[in-house]
A = this chain, B = another copy of it.
């Protein structure tokens, strides 16, 4: 997309250990302090050893951000060999900051500056040299580079200093001083020596930041939601990209009286969650593809025995072990249809970091209200991207109020699975007086006793599905986005791809292609009526998602007869708005 001069994508690239990631962290914090929005998504090396490369990637803008941007406006090379491999993502008029005095062992033909294409701009700065002045080694050249960036992009230096202080607050005063010194050296050198002729420019603006903002990743948001929702038990098994949720909760949850248990595998994690849910306590696990496979049988038990429980699946490239550090949206099938038998369960998908928070919170309510497992589909991109969040966003609830029904005491014999109009049976939990019952994964009658009768099976199957209908009725968010009325192009998308689609919609509307979106956060059960209303407004409907087979499109297509087109990608990288827009324009023109 054509970005404004104050909407800039920055990458800092170096070897592992060069501090690319922590420099970007400081940059984000400084920008947020000045009232900018940021979206940060670092590239992770695939292996532990990672063969060295490490790239911090952030976008800073005055406007709310929906994507991390397809092209890099400004690339900082802390290590030329690695930086060369990032050049392919630069925008046409991109800016490269490189070390003008590379170390001795540096090979001529691997100087990044030699590879930039016509139209791009390169500024050589003696990063190592300045670092050596500050800390007697090249270790601080990441911070020197921040000084260069601040001077070049016209960002206020004082906010960087605050951010640096915060970053190193646990370290001795001298470390802080050295780093601030490194920053200043880069800043001053740039002011004095660089003849700026690029267009990237934040114009020294600082926006009255009464926003109560915080920088958070999707994993952090989900963990925070657990804490705020009074989670009692987190049971989990490490797996990328979900592990961080457990690591945060391992620290925080015990301080709030809850427990964290690292189980021997995902089956056990799911078992602990279902056990705690049966006992009336909020419980959750987070996993990814291979783990959700293993949980399938336990989730089915929770469906059959109607036990509240919440499962986060942070998707990664699949199938099997797949691409552990790449993003994809290909677990819709297993989330919605991965159980044997007819096994209905709500599937939610946040579209942004704040929604990781909001939907995790609401998931606990849903689980208790509808007495069901709830699956939340995050993905690598959402889990690991950082956004600046207005804390007020976390208090909104546009989804609905979901209140669990408790069975009145002493209502003997208690019918745990009483058939009602809503499918929901008033619930008693262990510990209550005299509301004895045993739940089971076998088909059962209203009391909970095993029963394989024909009429009973039909009745109970209908009851379990009825709960989903009730949920669809109760769910208030319509998922509709963009202008009203007739649309040339109606987009449907979900999860982390929605940001790019929103961006594409506004770009298309700018070009007079009337576009709008339907972005359900409740992926399944489907709000068929909203989909129908939306589809009637659209000349074309295009489903955008990150998988090969159009998993969600297939699900939607069953509900309406209008044929949908698919924009599906398995790029191992988030979809970009540019790609969507180009695809549409090619078609429409």
Contact = CB atoms under 8 A, between A and B. Distances in A.
Interface in A318-332: 318-326, 328, 330-331
Contacts of A46: 450, 452
A133 interface: no
Interface in A539-560: 547-549, 551, 554, 557-558
Contacts of A442: 320-324
Contact of A297 (B290, B326, B339, B341): B290
Nearest to A321: B441
Contacts of A290: 297, 300, 340
Interface residues of A, number: 65
A452 B293 contact: no
Contact of A317 (B293, B297, B457): B457
Interface string A288-306: 1110111011001101110
Copies in the complex: 2
A74 B548 CA distance: 56
Nearest to A339: B319
B453 A293 contact: no
A441 to B, nearest CB: 3
Interface in A451-504: 452-454, 457-458, 461-462, 465
Given A297-B293, A322-B441, A323-B443, A334 B342 contact: no
A548 B461 CA distance: 7
Contacts of A457: 317, 323, 326, 570-572
Contacts of A318: 300, 339-343
Contacts of A305: 320
Contact of A341 (B331, B454, B557): B331
A529 interface: no
A338 B305 CA distance: 21
A572 B341 contact: no
A440 interface: yes
Interface string A335-362: 0011111111000000000000000000
A341 to B, nearest CB: 2
A561 interface: yes
A573 interface: yes
A440 B331 CA distance: 20
A319 B300 CA distance: 6
A576 to B, nearest CB: 12
A548 B325 CA distance: 38
A465 B450 CA distance: 42
- Considering residues A317, A324, A344, which has the most beta carbons from chain B within 10 angstroms of its beta carbon? A317
A563 interface: yes
A333 interface: yes
Given A303-B319, A304-B319, A454-B571, A296 B338 contact: yes
Nearest to A297: B293
Contacts of A319: 300, 303-304, 339-343, 441
B462 A548 contact: yes
Nearest to A337: B333
A64 B303 CA distance: 41
A548 B465 contact: yes
Contacts of A340: 288-290, 292-293, 313, 315, 318-320, 322, 330-331, 334, 338
Contact of A548 (B301, B326, B342, B561): B342
A275 B297 CA distance: 23
Nearest to A266: B297
14 contacts: A46-B452, A290-B300, A293-B300, A294-B294, A296-B296, A303-B319, A319-B441, A320-B343, A322-B442, A328-B341, A333-B338, A334-B340, A337-B551, A554-B558
The 3 A-B pairs with the shortest beta carbon distances in the complex, nearest first, are: A318-B341, A320-B441, A319-B341
